[in-house]
Amino acid sequence: SPNPPCPLGLPLVEAMGKTAAPKPERTGMAAGLNKGFIVTRRELKMKPSYRRGRKGERVSLVREVVREVVGFAPYERRMIELIKIGSASTFKRSLKLAKKRLGTHRRGKKKRDEMSEAVAQMRRKA
């Protein structure tokens, strides 16, 4: 996909999901902010490493099918029950359970959000 246009009309540099303004042109002087030899800028292709971590179509489809076939792990089912109750304390308890099973706070939060989404999806179906 092409990079989004910059307000100055120059291409934006995009890496790791973040966009940065292009570097200003060199002055040709040996000192100063934009010091250095004046060269013509080349348009570089995006490196494959920049898309690392983005979920592809195929992977998401496979994960969806596996989830349908296999279902939830016992701790995930317990989390779903806690989330279904709907009080703030059980919501917090579900995070505590996820943290204990998965090891970190961030993973726990992600899993709780995933389970909340699963509960919402169940409610939409019913």
Find the mean pLDDT for residues 83-103. 96
Per-residue pLDDT, 83: 95
User: How long a stretch of residues is the chain?
Assistant: 126
pLDDT at 25: 87
* Tokens (6 digits) for 44: 């570089």
pTM to 2 decimals? 0.62
Per-residue pLDDT of 26-60, as tens digits, reads: 888 999 999 999 999 888 898 989 888 888 999 99
pLDDT of amino acid 76: 97
Say whether pLDDT at 92 is over 50: yes
Structure tokens at 25: 């042109």
CA dihedral (62, 65, 66, 67) positive or negative: positive
pLDDT at 115 over 90: yes
What are φ and ψ of residue 113, in 5° steps?
-60, -40
- Give me the residue label for tokens 């292009």: 22
